[in-house]
Chains A and B, each alone.
Chain A
C-alpha cells in the first residue's frame, strides 16, 4: 500500500502551471444514473448516462505579471484544458494525470474576503471530457 499525503499536487490551467499557488484541488467525476426500472422488476435498476466532470480549485490570489489573476481573468466564459496530477513528478501508474478538455469556467471573483484574510480565488471548471493517463 502506498498512501499519499497530498503536498505536491500539480495543477495546470490552460497550460499554465499554477501549482505553487494552489491551496486545494478537487476533481469530481461521476455519471448520471438513468433509471431503467420496468414492469415486473421488484427493485430499482439503473444504467449509466452522461458523465459529469468538474474541477474545484482554491488558490492564493496573485496580481503579479503572469501569475494567478493574469492567467485566469480571460478564461471566464470560455473553455480550456485543465491538467491535474497527484504529484509534480512524471506521469506513472502511481502518479496518473487527469486531463480535462473543453472544460468551462463561468465565474471568477478577483477580490474576495474579509479584513485580515488571505486573498483567495475559488474556481469551478465544469463540463468537458476527462482522460486519465498512467504513462
Chain B
C-alpha cells in the first residue's frame, strides 16, 4: 500500500509517496483522518484483448 503526503506537517514534502513500511509504528488511520496522507489508488489499466465481464446469476 502506498500513500501520498498531502499535509505540510510531516517530515516529507507534500506530493511525495511513502510506502506502508515507512509508516511502521505509526497510526496510519489517524494520519489519513487527520488529512496528512491519502491512499494512492491503483489505476486499473485496460488490457487489450481482455474480454472478461462480470455476469450476474
Contacts and interface: CB of A to CB of B under 8 A. Distances in A.
Contact of A71 (B9, B11, B29): B9
B11 A80 contact: no
B10 A15 contact: yes
Contacts of B31: 14-16
A70 interface: yes
B10 A71 contact: no
A66 B31 CA distance: 9
B1 interface: no
A17 B11 contact: yes
Contacts of B34: 16, 66, 70-71, 73-74
Interface residues of A, number: 19
What secondary structure prevails in chain B residues at the interface with A? loop
Interface string B18-47: 000001011101110111100000000000
A16 B10 contact: yes
In the complex, which range does the number of interface residues on chain B fall in?
Answer: 10 to 19
A75 B27 contact: yes
A73 B33 contact: yes
B17 interface: no
A124 B23 CA distance: 22
A101 interface: yes
The CB with the most chain A CB atoms within 10 A, among B7, B8, B25, is that of B25
Interface of B: 7-11, 23, 25-27, 29-31, 33-36
12 contacts: A14-B27, A15-B11, A15-B31, A17-B10, A66-B34, A70-B34, A73-B30, A73-B34, A74-B29, A74-B34, A78-B30, A81-B25
